[in-house]
């Protein structure tokens, strides 16, 4: 039964109308790095249009759509489009630990060391954009942040499996029922991609006493060096 269901799903995917929006790519701006466990971790995504693509408009209009796109929405049951908006999502793979896996409630779990928040301020993809991306153009967006919420985060490697950018479409069918559909512009980790997760290595922060001893040691080395220089030859 599972095999039959998989074959049926694959057949539907192959026969479904293709979107004709400009070809785009989404990637991490800085996939790996280090942090001290007390600072917020910023997730930046880069959206790029193919060099031979038509412009991509992100202003909430259907300017980037063509007849095939409207045909696809019609096949999805849309009789009217009410809103087009910039959207996005994250997903965690096996072993990803920025947020605890089920049965925990992800980053909203009280025990989670990080608080996750999509960026809706400056450099956000989700704000209504007046500009567009021309063919071959790239733009970087501050997608989201992980912020320590229970004090300093323990040293270790923290990872996030995937992030994607999309265009959301809201509308109604012929009977006036609400409909929603999401068109993916791109994802950082496509199918079969390996070693593509976003990660940050949290390094240990020295204890105050240890830091003080290190400072005294360095000061002593400097004083000893100056004393040797000042001794008569």
Contact 98, 40 (CB under 8 A): no
Residue 104 has pLDDT above 90, yes or no: no
> Which of the two residues, 187 and 216, has the higher pLDDT score?
187
Chain-centroid distance, C-alpha 127:
15
**Least confident interval from 99-103, 141-145, 201-205:** 99-103
Where does the pLDDT of residue 185 fall: very low under 50, low under 70, confident under 90, or very high at 90 and above? very high
What percent of the chain has pLDDT above 70?
A: 76
Q: Using the structure block, give the residue that is written with the tokens 């971790």.
A: 41
pLDDT, mean of residues 119-134: 86
pLDDT of amino acid 89: 93
Rounded to two decimals, the pTM is 0.78
What distance in Å separates the CA atoms of residue 219 and residue 10, rounded to the nearest whole number?
68
Q: pLDDT at residue 132 above 80?
A: yes
What pLDDT was estimated at residue 99? 85
pLDDT at residue 11, as a whole number: 28
**pLDDT tens profile 145-173:** 999 998 999 999 999 989 999 999 999 99
pLDDT of residue 10: 29
**DSSP string of 100-168, one letter each residue:** PPTTS-GGGSTT-SEEEEE--STT-SSSPP--EEPTT-EEEEEEEEEEE-SSSPPSEEEEE-EEEEEEE
Domain boundaries along the sequence of the chain = 2-205
pLDDT beyond 90 at 215: no
Q: Give the tens place of pLDDT for each residue, 73-101.
A: 999 999 999 999 999 999 887 778 898 77
Looking at residue 4, what is its pLDDT? 32
């Amino acid at each position: 039964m599972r095999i039959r269901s998989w074959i049926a799903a694959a057949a539907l995917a192959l026969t479904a109308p293709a979107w004709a929006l400009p070809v785009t790519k989404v990637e991490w701006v800085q996939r790996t790095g280090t942090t001290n466990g007390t600072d917020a971790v910023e997730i930046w995504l880069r959206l790029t249009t193919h060099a031979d693509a038509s412009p991509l408009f992100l202003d909430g209009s259907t300017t980037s759509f063509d007849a095939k796109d409207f045909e696809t929405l019609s096949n999805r049951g849309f009789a009217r489009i009410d809103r087009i908006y910039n959207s996005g999502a994250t997903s965690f793979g096996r072993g990803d630990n920025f947020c605890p896996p089920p049965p925990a409630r992800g980053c909203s779990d009280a025990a989670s060391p990080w608080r996750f928040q999509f960026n809706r301020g400056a450099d956000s993809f989700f704000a209504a954009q007046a500009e567009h991306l021309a063919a071959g153009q790239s733009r970087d967006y501050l997608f989201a942040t992980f912020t320590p919420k229970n004090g300093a985060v323990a040293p270790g490697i923290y990872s996030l499996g995937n992030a994607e950018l999309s265009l959301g479409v809201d509308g109604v069918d012929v009977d006036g029922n609400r409909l929603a559909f999401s068109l993916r512009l791109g994802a950082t980790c496509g199918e079969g991609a390996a070693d593509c997760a976003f990660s940050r290595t949290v390094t240990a922060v020295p204890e105050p006493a240890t830091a003080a001893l290190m400072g005294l040691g360095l000061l002593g080395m400097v004083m000893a060096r100056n004393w040797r220089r000042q001794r008569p030859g």
